[in-house]
Amino acid sequence: MTNNPENSTEFQQLVEQLYQPQSRRAARQKLLAAKAVGPLLECLESTNELVVWAAVESLQELRANEAVGPLVDLLQRGVLVVDVTEALTAITGQDFGVDATRWQQWIGDPTTAESTELDVAGCIRRTAELLGVEPTGSGKSFRFKLSLPEDRSQRVDVYFGREDSEGDSLVVIYSECGPAVAKYYEAVLRKNITIPAGAFAIRDIKGQPNFVMVDTMIAAVVTPSALAKKIENIAARADIVEKGLTKEDRR
């Protein structure tokens, strides 16, 4: 893409493509790659909710501080409340939930400093409140123990500070399922195509291979509510496999 101003024909064409289901994803990726904040901000005013959603997600990934005011406006109007709230939290490092009044008060305070990185302690604290579980650990490593049906429980570990191949900080969430026995490899791996998020893998634990359920998130877009959902999902799915493999509850 050329370095034209953000009102160029090139960007206008990409915005128009956001309105078409078959071209929306590719257009969004190109706008992201070009860091086209201006055109994406204009999309927030669209009457097409799918276009607004694409813009909200993109501005969140770009950590666009310019989007905070318009996003609060969307929240006040009740538009895509969950997505907008997660975007605001990711961009600002603040977490006022769906309380549009508190968000408006916060952006109206000229002394409030902008956050540029994930507040790990704050994120874990809020995630624990949402889950109703007190975590153990500190620094960049935490463990949650969730209660499950049939008087079972599952431990889920959360690690901060890892990086992907492009240098982006990651949050890794995983839970042990049981010993990785070769005869179960195919059965466990086949489950990966049936689950909406995360994947089963093998990890050495205390020198022994174990099946684990694992998922990752880009730290820049992590919110407490999204992390809590990941932890709940990981716990439930790992426990199902653990129960099938070991017939035990490895608390």
Q: What is the pLDDT along the chain (251 residues), one digit of tens a residue?
A: 434 444 578 888 889 988 988 888 898 999 999 999 999 999 999 899 999 999 999 999 999 999 999 999 998 888 898 899 999 988 888 888 888 888 888 887 544 444 446 788 888 998 899 889 899 998 889 999 998 888 888 999 999 988 877 777 889 999 988 888 888 888 888 888 887 778 888 888 888 898 888 998 888 777 788 888 889 989 988 888 887 776 555 55
pLDDT for 218? 81
pLDDT for 144? 94
> Taking the CA of residue 231 as centre, how many other CA atoms within 13 Å lie in the half-sphere pointing to its CB?
30
The CA distance from 97 to 123, in Å, is: 13
Q: What's the pTM?
A: 0.57
